[in-house]
Amino acid sequence: MAFGRLERTSGPQPMSDINMTPLVDVMLVLVVIFILTAPLLASSIRLDLPRAAGATPGAAPEFVTLVVDRTGQAYLDDQPVSQAALVERLQRIGAARPDTEVQLRADAAVPYGRVVEVMGAAHSAGLQRIGFVAEQPGVAP
């Protein structure tokens, strides 16, 4: 009885490379999530902005956000301020950087007189560039 030589075949070799596909998939999903949520974090004050045909998004190099909500409360860079504190802070900003743009966001229900008061405070502080933020007609808020 002749027996052949018993040969042992080597098993599969361990893989020394890292599988990058799951990592890339997770990172792309995270990037998409951040892209979608970043605009929602821009302002935490809920407003019903008026609609205007000429309302297009624009960017200014230096700006402050001045918000007047439905009750007439003023917010400077999302911080509530009284009328006296608003005038004082706008004067400090105007003295430091007179070319700063004021982006005024006022709720559609705010009386015109209150908007004029806030604009007058910015103008008297030396801030000449005032931009009105509005939504385009037909765009859902």
Question: For residue 139, what pLDDT band results from cuts at 50, 70 and 90?
Answer: low
Residue 130 has pLDDT above 70, yes or no: yes
Strands 79-81 and 74-76: antiparallel
CA Rg value for the chain: 29
Residue 122 falls inside a structural domain: yes
Q: How many separate domains does the chain show?
A: 1
Where in the sequence is the domain holding 89, given as residue range(s)?
63-132
Q: Is residue 36 scored above 90 in pLDDT?
A: no
Q: Is residue 113 part of a domain?
A: yes
Q: What is the pLDDT of residues 51-95, one digit of tens each?
A: 777 656 655 458 889 999 988 899 998 889 998 999 999 999 989
Domain-located, residue 105: yes
Tell whether 39 is covered by a domain: no
| Residue 1: pLDDT band with limits 50, 70, 90 | low
Domain of residue 102, CATH code:
3.30.420.270
| Residue 69 backbone dihedrals phi, psi, to 5 degrees | -85, 180
What pLDDT is attached to residue 4? 61
